[in-house]
Chains A and B, each alone.
Chain A
Amino acid sequence: GEDVEQSLFLSVREGDSSVINCTYTDSSSTYLYWYKQEPGAGLQLLTYIFSNMDMKQDQRLTVLLNKKDKHLSLRIADTQTGDSAIYFCAEDGGYNKLIFGAGTRLAVHP
């Protein structure tokens, strides 16, 4: 069945790059997503990538997609304390649903 796996915790120093990795199972996903959850808030769409793309860059964010290996990554350049949050990878089940991972907690320290 559909499944999304990601590591649970990442700690980086302020100013360094963060890379959060994810593997998924549904090769028919049209889009793949990264959602961000800040403390006390709901999930918020951070970025997404269309399945026929290998890379998408959006300011400090770079999304890489390896369809062969079903691997998705999110790179945050120049990580700031405000980037501390939980990051969820999700694959597309169409309008009917998203399949999420368990989330990667990113801790940024000085």
Chain B
Amino acid sequence: EPEVTQTPSHQVTQMGQEVILRCVPISNHLYFYWYRQILGQKVEFLVSFYNNEISEKSEIFDDQFSVERPDGSNFTLKIRSTKLEDSAMYFCASGGTTEITGELFFGEGSRLTVL
């Protein structure tokens, strides 16, 4: 069964460093997403990506964040200069092939720890 894969599973970084989280979505999916969950809090929408551009982003997704789908398979989230409050589990998801608009397939997550 096809699945969404994410790397790394856990990354520890120093404040101010750049981080790239990688995702391989399911190949025939059309929409790609990043969500995050700070420990004990809600799963928060960050950004959606369709047709090679951002279709919607939340207020969390400021200039420090960017997304890219460089080669048609990988979907990356870059955090330019990490802050302590960026520590969270980051989930990649893909979907958009059925009329059930919220039927998303999630990866296992990348845990980011900023020291």
- A contact set with B: CB distance below 8 Å: 4, 30-31, 33, 40-45, 48, 88, 90, 92-103
B42 neighbours in A (Cβ, 8 Å): 4, 100-103
B58 neighbours in A (Cβ, 8 Å): 97
Report the minimal beta-carbon distance from B102 to chain A, rounded to whole angstroms. 5
Report the minimal beta-carbon distance from B7 to chain A, rounded to whole angstroms. 13
B27-61 toward A: CB 8 Å interface, digit per residue (1/0)?
00001010100001111110010100001101000
Q: Find out whether the CB atom of A100 lies under 8 angstroms from the CB atom of B108.
A: no
A-B contact pairs, 21 of them (CB 8 A): A33-B102, A42-B106, A42-B107, A43-B43, A43-B93, A45-B103, A45-B104, A45-B105, A90-B102, A95-B101, A96-B31, A96-B56, A97-B33, A97-B45, A97-B56, A98-B102, A100-B42, A100-B45, A101-B42, A102-B40, A103-B42
Question: Which 9 A/B pairs are nearest by Cβ-Cβ distance?
Answer: A42-B106, A100-B43, A96-B56, A43-B106, A97-B45, A102-B42, A42-B108, A96-B48, A98-B102
What interface size band does chain B fall in?
20 to 34
Choose from A40, A98, A103 the contact partner of B104 (Cβ within 8 Å): A98
Which residue of the partner chain A has the closest CB to B6? A42
Which residue of the partner chain A has the closest CB to B42? A102
Q: Find out whether the CB atom of B108 lies under 8 angstroms from the CB atom of A31.
A: no
A96 neighbours in B (Cβ, 8 Å): 31, 48, 55-56
Report the minimal beta-carbon distance from A11 to chain B, rounded to whole angstroms. 18
Report the minimal beta-carbon distance from B79 to chain A, rounded to whole angstroms. 19
Report the minimal beta-carbon distance from A72 to chain B, rounded to whole angstroms. 13
